[in-house]
Amino acid sequence: MEEYGKLLEACPNQEWRTIIALARIGGLRCPSELQQLRWSDINWQAKRFVVRSPKTEHHAGQDKRVVPLFPELRMELERLRMESHSECMEFVVQSFQGAAWNVYEPFQEIAESAGLGRIACPFRNMRRSRSNEVADRWGDRKESLWIGHSEDVMEKHYRMHLDKDFVTC
């Protein structure tokens, strides 16, 4: 989370802050899920939003999922909504619509500006970090629902065993 804070501080604009928050706090796949996120998918009152998932849509009932509007994410989305006059726009991330989603190099510039250097597989690593946080706090079932894969996939591809996991009383 310390690196996440540094990344946000180094972002050139609110849209990039929101992209990073959606990947790190929301656990969205980038670019596929970010690209499809619409303002109409966000239910502000219910504190949740719908994520369309092209990667899993071929599995019955897994074309989309509902994710909590975590407070840290809500804050960045609200800032973007105020700044961008979202009532006139369909998509949350507007800059890349109709263009190739080349977010890797701009992200690396942000990471270098934040003093973190180049980060290997940054969006996959942000999603993996969030996967672990959600599993630790809310359990494997909610992690699978919110991050968008089975518990088997979580264990095989996302779950990281950290030093704190080996600390005993």
Indicate the SS3 state at residue 126: helix
Mean confidence (pLDDT) of the chain: 83
pLDDT tens digit sequence for 14-52 = 999 999 999 999 999 888 898 889 999 999 999 999 998
| Full-model pTM | 0.82
Domain region containing 141 = 2-166
Identify which has the larger pLDDT, 134 or 99.
Answer: 134
- Give the closest residue to 41 by CA, choosing from 90, 82, 3: 90
**Number of domains composing the chain:** 1
Tell me how many degrees the CA angle 151-167-27 measures, rounded to the nearest 5: 35
- What CATH number corresponds to the domain at position 80? 1.10.443.10
Asked whether the beta carbons of 94 and 37 are under 8 A apart, the reply is no
Q: Compute the residue count for the chain.
A: 169
Can you list the alpha helix ranges (DSSP code H) found in the chain? 2-10, 14-24, 32-36, 71-84, 104-113, 122-138, 140-147, 151-153
Determine if the peptide bond prior to 31 is cis (ω within 30°): yes
pLDDT tens-digit readout, 58-71 = 555 556 889 999 99
Q: How far apart are CA 85 and CA 122, in angstroms?
A: 29
| Identity of the residue numbered 102 | N
How confident is residue 160, by pLDDT bands cut at 50, 70 and 90?
low
Contact criterion met (CB below 8 Å) for 95 and 15: yes
